[in-house]
A and B are shown apart, each in its own frame.
Chain A
């Protein structure tokens, strides 16, 4: 943590733009500082900074195994952590504090040892399942609750409902302690600002510090009244929630903050530039996932003047950001154009785009009304959430379909029976069904027990239900349980089926035995390599009405049906299918032997719903996009499109317009989420050779953006391979 007090001469230019330029430079310094902390590698930028060298937090354990669990363990440690947490102040920043540590990281044992699910482990291992048991956060809260009440109001609410829910004191004690911890941190921050005011000599920065002090002093108890206070309160919630368990879900940012801006404007206490400065500082504080635009519950376009201000503020900041623009047919075309313009101008991977039509219609198929579906906003890496209403384990649960496929292949080849793609399909489908079932059982185990492991003390506060019922979100506090089950490796499996059908069954170039010998030997020797190349050159997923495309549709439909069928088995819990690997492509790939798509043992599986690189000679985006749109499960969760585009592609307003049309068409065809990297091949190659020479290079790795220099070589390769082949 660096000292940023009184570092500028008293006559230095500190206009809002200049302050942001300084803050951006300082952020690069902070990014470099944290590059040697492994917890910050291969993840989102997060906005975290390195703690002071002498900072230490040692948790106290309330479980004999040597870990902390449950309401008491988490609230006690959180309070202790807040009580001693370093305070960070930068006079150029509108807001105080950053996060530096995460309590979840300090647990030597990550899951309560009393909770045993050994009966599920053999199948979880067999099918390469990431079960999500013990996973935290990954659903969205409703910031409006906290913004309307403030910490003092939340404490009052807790007291009110404690009285109505006898027998839930452990819940209410823990929540109160959580808030007291944050208030203590805020109080120490106010004291630190007072100290900074004694040192800082720049008159404008002193003025800023004084306002920062007054803002934070009010927020210890009071609810935010102005845009500045609202943003600072969000910074507090965000940093505290990160410190708790790294929760990074945001909100519908434009509609959440617009009322404060309009009120300030009417009162004559804010300028447009001031508002942009505040928003930019909020985005700098932590690049949470925020949505802009979309449809209101009653169906009108939510893009407002304030939505544009947010984009302009992000442009001023010109740094890592996770803004998502929700696209729909009746949206303001100018807003989409502006968003695409900034994407190409800044080349920082923002904004992303989500598709209202498919997301809403899909979610409604799970029995929800359109008004709710429209409120399910993009607040996570690849996921949507109903703010404060649902518990989801989004992005936490994965089935390794490539591993399931290899298992089915081994089984078929070991049998004395028929060898065909249809026989293989029959076995693959049966194993997938078992994998889905055991995954759902694991999720239900989690729902039953997670509260005894790790309650959601931060997100409970801004959700509808936990405080009212005295129950944790994971354990009956939420109104809805829409549990995410993502498949992974769809392209690996589809390409494998397609290669077998094409080369063995249609062309007769190979027998199943020859293929399997090559696969089992990991394509050893010249003949093995020749067979590998032949299989690899087959009609691939993403090629455009290819065999691979057809198999992918079949795979996705079958998987979708299997996941949906769990709703009846485990009602009232619902399960929503998606295709997303996150950056698990590396670890999931390592668990799978060679596959008949020409992939060698341990190589990565495909990323999300994207085809494997090299899927088509001209790399046509539309062919790839059509393929991904065709495999959408279609129940409100996503199977994202990840694009790598050359900066030259959108030169001039006409080309930007074409990209807008591409985006609109993608979402009309059923697409759910679109992530775009704007980067040229030469730059990424040079950065891969010498990452430190490119400290400000930001890439969208999967759903999240990261500084390239903070990625490990393995992750860098993931990005580089994708971009080079594209």
Chain B
């Protein structure tokens, strides 16, 4: 069984062709700008979207930590826990369980509904997260099952694991997409909670494996939105065989409501995506030292 947060179909930006993206729950980094904060913890958890609450009180009938005040539900999140009984009787969409234990068959049932689109477009299934490599056994089983169905496979990973974990998956992987968020080790540790030495090493080893790979950098205002930063990363990966392209991803502010739903502080609540021309300027800096740079 794997713990997943969602399966997103008709994904156009997670690899070649039309794809389905399977989001794993749990991550070993804590990027301050993460737009999927619900994927950080491995355990299922309850999200509360206050604006959707109609104050019906159904949740209070199954969980004593809930009550209705002035037309809206209030609750003690710690006391409620993450058992999810409250979410199961909430039909307004205010309470939602994030994280579901799923079998390989569950995932196949969903993603194979789009097999015709993958076949026509050269697409397939991408495992993302969270961090896929924290659930290596489930990932391996799923990738193998997908390959048996003739489906192109890819993962999106931070590569912040022992290389052997990735290596075990490579036979059933057609493409690896990995993040390299910052070039400076200390800055990387400051903003993500982990250093980048192992990531850099893994990218190099991945390159040696002969498996095609894509490196991506989420461009975050005030963090890594300088030409010298992009140039340094591009200079490193531009020399590596097997690189399909280097992609710059503009800051994604859409995680804001999830931070609220989780009662977690959003450090980048006021940040906005960079102007398109700025992204193009950064890409130009990367192109000087890397054969193929894209803005995603």
A interface vs B, CB < 8 Å? Answer: 526, 529-530, 533-534, 536-537, 544-545, 617-618, 620-623, 626, 649, 655, 657-658, 661-662, 664-665, 668-669
Contact = CB atoms under 8 A, between A and B. Distances in A.
Nearest to B122: A661
A622 B56 contact: no
Given A622-B117, A623-B113, A661 B56 contact: no
Nearest to B54: A529
Nearest to A619: B10
Contact of A658 (B6, B18, B109): B18
A665 B92 contact: no
Judged by DSSP, the binding face of A is helix
A386 B92 CA distance: 49
Contact of A665 (B56, B58, B93, B117): B117
B91 A537 contact: yes
Contacts of A669: 116
A621 B10 contact: yes
B241 to A, nearest CB: 23
Given A661-B17, A669-B116, 5 more contacts: A530-B56, A533-B54, A623-B113, A657-B121, A665-B117
Contact of B91 (A533, A544, A658, A665): A533
A620 B91 contact: no
A267 B268 CA distance: 67
Contacts of B121: 657-658, 661-662, 665
Interface string B83-111: 00000000111000000000000000110
A665 B12 contact: no
Interface in B9-62: 9-10, 12, 17-18, 54, 56, 58
15 contacts: A529-B56, A530-B91, A536-B91, A544-B113, A620-B9, A620-B10, A621-B10, A622-B9, A622-B10, A622-B117, A658-B12, A661-B17, A661-B120, A661-B121, A665-B121
Interface of B: 6, 8-10, 12, 17-18, 54, 56, 58, 91-93, 109-110, 113-114, 116-117, 120-123
Enumerate the 6 nearest inter-chain pairs by beta-carbon distance, A residue then B residue, closest first.
A661-B121, A620-B9, A533-B91, A537-B91, A665-B120, A534-B91
Nearest to A544: B113
Given A530-B56, A544-B113, A545-B109, A664 B120 contact: yes
Contact of A668 (B9, B109, B110, B120): B120
A669 B119 CA distance: 13
Contacts of B54: 529, 533
Contacts of A537: 91, 93
A657 B121 CA distance: 8
Contacts of B58: 530
B93 A661 contact: no
A530 B113 CA distance: 32
A623 B9 contact: yes
B56 to A, nearest CB: 5
Given A661-B121, A668-B120, A626 B113 contact: yes
A333 to B, nearest CB: 11
B9 A618 contact: yes
A596 B117 CA distance: 33
A544 B9 contact: yes
Nearest to A664: B120
B158 to A, nearest CB: 23
B266 to A, nearest CB: 22
Report which residue of A617, A661, A664 has the largest number of chain B beta carbons within 10 angstroms of its beta carbon.
Answer: A661
A678 to B, nearest CB: 14
Contact of B12 (A534, A617, A649): A649
A661 B117 contact: yes
Given A544-B110, A665-B120, A533 B10 contact: no
A529 B53 CA distance: 12
B18 A655 contact: no
Report which residue of A533, A655, A658 has the largest number of chain B beta carbons within 10 angstroms of its beta carbon.
Answer: A658
A623 B111 CA distance: 10
B98 to A, nearest CB: 12
Nearest to A545: B113
A630 B91 CA distance: 28
Given A649-B12, A655-B12, A662 B56 contact: no
A506 to B, nearest CB: 14
B243 to A, nearest CB: 17
B17 to A, nearest CB: 6
B120 to A, nearest CB: 5
A668 B116 contact: yes
Nearest to B109: A545
A530 B60 CA distance: 14
Contacts of B116: 665, 668-669
A363 to B, nearest CB: 23
Nearest to B113: A544
Contact of A661 (B6, B18, B110): B18
A658 B9 contact: no
Nearest to B7: A618
A676 to B, nearest CB: 14
A658 B17 contact: yes
A623 B6 CA distance: 15
Contacts of B110: 544
Contact of B18 (A534, A544, A622): A622
A655 B296 CA distance: 11
Contacts of B17: 658, 661
A617 B7 CA distance: 10
B113 to A, nearest CB: 5
A537 to B, nearest CB: 4
Nearest to B57: A526
Contacts of A618: 6, 8-9
Given A655-B12, A658-B18, A661-B18, A526 B56 contact: yes
Given A658-B18, A665-B120, A620 B56 contact: no
Nearest to B16: A654
A626 B117 CA distance: 10
Nearest to B19: A658
A655 B13 CA distance: 8
A545 B91 CA distance: 21
A662 B58 CA distance: 42
A622 B120 contact: no
Report which residue of B6, B58, B91 has the largest number of chain A beta carbons within 10 angstroms of its beta carbon.
Answer: B91
A669 B110 CA distance: 17
B39 to A, nearest CB: 15
Contacts of A529: 54, 56
A618 B22 CA distance: 13
Contacts of A617: 6
A441 B38 CA distance: 58
Contacts of B114: 622, 626
A662 B91 contact: no
Nearest to B114: A622
A618 B6 CA distance: 9
Contacts of B93: 537
A617 B91 CA distance: 13
B227 to A, nearest CB: 22
Report which residue of B12, B56, B58, B109 has the largest number of chain A beta carbons within 10 angstroms of its beta carbon.
Answer: B12
A618 B123 CA distance: 19
Nearest to B6: A618
A336 to B, nearest CB: 12
Nearest to B294: A652
Contacts of B10: 620-623, 662
A533 B92 contact: yes
A534 B56 CA distance: 12
A203 to B, nearest CB: 43
A622 B10 CA distance: 6
A536 B91 CA distance: 8
A544 B91 CA distance: 20
A270 B10 CA distance: 45
Contacts of A526: 56
Contacts of A544: 9, 110, 113
A544 B92 CA distance: 21
A486 B64 CA distance: 52
B249 to A, nearest CB: 13
